[in-house]
Structure 1
Amino acid sequence: MSFSSKVKDELSRQLSPARHCQIAEIAAIISLCGKIIISEEDHYAIKIHTENVAVARKYFTLLKKTFNIVTDVSIRRNAYLNKNRTYTVTIREHEDALRVLHAAKLLDEHGEVGENLNVVQNVVIQQSCCRRAFVRGAFLASGSLSDPEKFYHFEIVCATEEKAKQLQGIIATFDLEAKIVKRKRYYIVYIKEGSQIVDILNVMEAPVALMELENIRILKDMRNSVNRQVNCETANINKTVSAAVKQIEDIEYIRDTIGLENLPENLEEVARERVERPEATLKELGEALDPPVGKSGVNHRLRKLCDIAEQLRDRSERSRME
């Protein structure tokens, strides 16, 4: 089971005790994956389609508990993709459908179905607990969450920009910054930051998924921290080794050209120590000198040796050209 499916399964089992919160969640599910069917006789029916059994189970349970409505549930298998099933939950009775639509504020002041099934009055999501339920219902209806082991991405797909902006506004009331992007003909409300995805799971009241995500984030942060430290140490080692190799090349050139004994005593001493101890750090070289010298003093002497070697090379090059 994918991480997204685990979250939906957990949310499908989370049932708000308050009726107004149950209605808010029903409103979100119908708004994002529902369809109103009106017959020629003005007979209303409501259908929701989903490929997730957890969503169908939650919607069925909410309708039974909140309105005591009997619904029809049908399952259709995709002929081309045998593993895919579509679950359809239908409210067929006209009076039952009207009761749900009125309660969920999906009818306007004239009793007409709001265009694109927008929640036409914010009464249904006035309270914080109802907004939590609405976000939960929206995610169940058309949301997804990436595998946090790979990357962080939370999204809810909306059919219209108006729905996306409304959902974005509801999420913003919890101090979370969701963004909107258009993908083909849909509008996607998404969050990409790991800490904010943890917060949105808390908003939707999915504590098990929240803890799993937090554990993954902690492990990833630890791995990243260790990797950064190892990379830093490796870079420092490479830098030290490269510098030591260059220093030894310069010292050997001086030795083969004029001899180390012709150098000033302080330079000769550090040159011999460097050749004998190619792996030593500047600090270790300084401690081996008599008297001991600090890192900056050793570095200064090694730069002096580098300058002498460059001068000798330049002199040799000019002599060759003459």
Structure 2
Amino acid sequence: MSGSFTEDVRQELARLPLGSAAETRAELAALLRLAGSLTVTGGESGMRRRLEVSTGSGAVARRTFALLQRRYGLRAQLLVRAPGGVRRRSTYVVRVEPEADEVAGDLGLLDARGRLRDGVPDDLDDAAALAYLRGAVLASGSISDPGRDPHLEIATRSGATATALAALVDRCTGGSARAVEASADRERHRMVMKSGAAIEDLLASVGATVAFLRWGERRLRRQLRGDANRLANADAANLRRTIDAAGTQVRVVEELVDAVGWDGIEPELRVVALARLANPGASLQELGQLLDPPVGKSVVHRRLRRLEARHAEVAPGGPSTVG
């Protein structure tokens, strides 16, 4: 499992603009449920609660701090614990006190016994559900390097939470939960995804667009290598043209998205671009049949040409020739 790519994903998610009130609440709830702790202290003034989010990522700590400030107008304490003992790197702690009761109540963190609650909130609309998944990835997600065997996991406190997260992924990514398992390994509960396509869906859904493109590019390379081996006895020239054209189209889309973002691409071109990224080995006719509604080969070809023309406007000197 790659700490570097996981941290790249966290950095990207942490830089996203803060969402609506409901999205902010959901993202905070995931961070505190999965990476938080609750401490009860007593003194002459009575019992007090303290909430903390502990993380090895400075980006996650800053995101948590900003979310708390946006939602409650409070400035949490931000502590840094230097490496030492069993800790090999710095740990960042975001502490909420004395507003812990207000935050815990608003986020529905505590059960009837005053302990951190298991599971996933059941009042999440679609946007809040994606925000919750984003918070879960930030809190305890781990992702393998692009190009390696696909593996994403989110560590949880209980099997019930892992199962609920799997169901939430299923809901938010259109049925890709066939590749999601809720498992426990030596008391460590996890939600696990082992499908490259499902992981791509999740990364794109929570807003990690750059990570999604990196993952897709590496998966494309592996798929193209496999296709080349399986088609070793086919016409070599045609094979090279097919692979080169698909690779060029993918690079055109990636560079165009980097330049203008998905929202900067016309909707009818955007669906063709997404279809090519998800199906690098498909012919133009096959791509057309994947669209809704289906279109012919000539329509796909024209739209790819328009993508290339748009790319030439914003990224001159890049790849060309749709094929």
TM range (shorter): 0.5 to 0.7
1:84 is aligned to 2:89? yes
Shift of 1:4: 1.2
CA contact (8 A) 2:110 2:116 kept: no
Structure with more helix by fraction:
1
Instruction: Write the mapping of 1:151-230 to structure 2, written as runs, cut at 5 A.
Output: 151-174=149-172, 175-177=175-177, 178-230=180-232
Instruction: Write the mapping of 1:1-322 to structure 2, written as runs, cut at 5 A.
Output: 2-40=4-42, 41-80=46-85, 84-93=89-98, 96-108=99-111, 112-113=113-114, 115-118=115-118, 121-123=121-123, 125=124, 127-174=125-172, 175-177=175-177, 178-230=180-232
> AA paired with 1:100?
V
CA contact (8 A) 2:176 2:198 kept: yes
- For 1:268, the equivalent position in structure 2 comes to none
- Give, in whole Å, the separation in 2 of the partners of 1:23 and 1:30: 11
Shift of 1:42: 2.0
- Give, in whole Å, the separation in 2 of the partners of 1:211 and 1:121: 30
> AA paired with 2:167?
G
CA contact (8 A) 2:193 2:199 kept: yes
Shift of 1:6: 0.7
TM-score (norm 1): 0.66
Shift of 1:214: 1.2
- Give, in whole Å, the separation in 1 of the partners of 2:157 and 2:9: 22
CA contact (8 A) 1:4 1:144 kept: yes
How many residues align? The count is 226
> AA paired with 1:212?
R
SS at match of 1:230: coil
CA contact (8 A) 2:37 2:52 kept: yes
SS at match of 1:122: coil
Shift of 1:119: 5.5
> AA paired with 2:118?
N
- Give, in whole Å, the separation in 1 of the partners of 2:215 and 2:36: 30
Indicate the RMSD between aligned Cα atoms, in angstroms: 2.1
SS at match of 1:49: strand
Shift of 1:120: 7.4
- Give, in whole Å, the separation in 2 of the partners of 1:172 and 1:82: 35
CA contact (8 A) 2:146 2:214 kept: no
- Give, in whole Å, the separation in 1 of the partners of 2:189 and 2:126: 24
Stretch deviating more after TM superposition (54-63 or 82-91):
82-91
Structure label with greater radius of gyration = 1
CA contact (8 A) 2:29 2:107 kept: yes
- Give, in whole Å, the separation in 2 of the partners of 1:91 and 1:207: 31
- Give, in whole Å, the separation in 1 of the partners of 2:148 and 2:186: 25
- Give, in whole Å, the separation in 2 of the partners of 1:121 and 1:34: 16
SS at match of 1:25: helix
CA contact (8 A) 2:136 2:154 kept: yes
- Give, in whole Å, the separation in 1 of the partners of 2:53 and 2:181: 26
1:258-310 Cα shifts (integer Å, max 9, x gaps)? xxxxxxxxxxxxxxxxxxxxxxxxxxxxxxxxxxxxxxxxxxxxxxxxxxxxx
1:137-177 Cα shifts (integer Å, max 9, x gaps)? 01111111000222211110112112112211211212221
Given the superposition, is the C-alpha separation of residues 107 and 120 from structure 1 closer, same or farther in structure 2, using an over 3 Å criterion?
A: farther
> AA paired with 1:15?
P
Shift of 1:183: 1.4
Shift of 1:97: 1.2
SS at match of 2:38: strand
Shift of 1:228: 2.6
SS at match of 1:2: helix
1:7-26 Cα shifts (integer Å, max 9, x gaps)? 11101111343011101000
> AA paired with 1:5?
E
Stretches of structure 2 lacking an aligned partner (at least 5 in a row): 236-323
Stretches of structure 1 lacking an aligned partner (at least 5 in a row): 234-322
CA contact (8 A) 1:21 1:129 kept: yes
> AA paired with 1:202?
A
CA contact (8 A) 2:118 2:157 kept: no
- Give, in whole Å, the separation in 2 of the partners of 1:100 and 1:181: 30
Identity %: 27
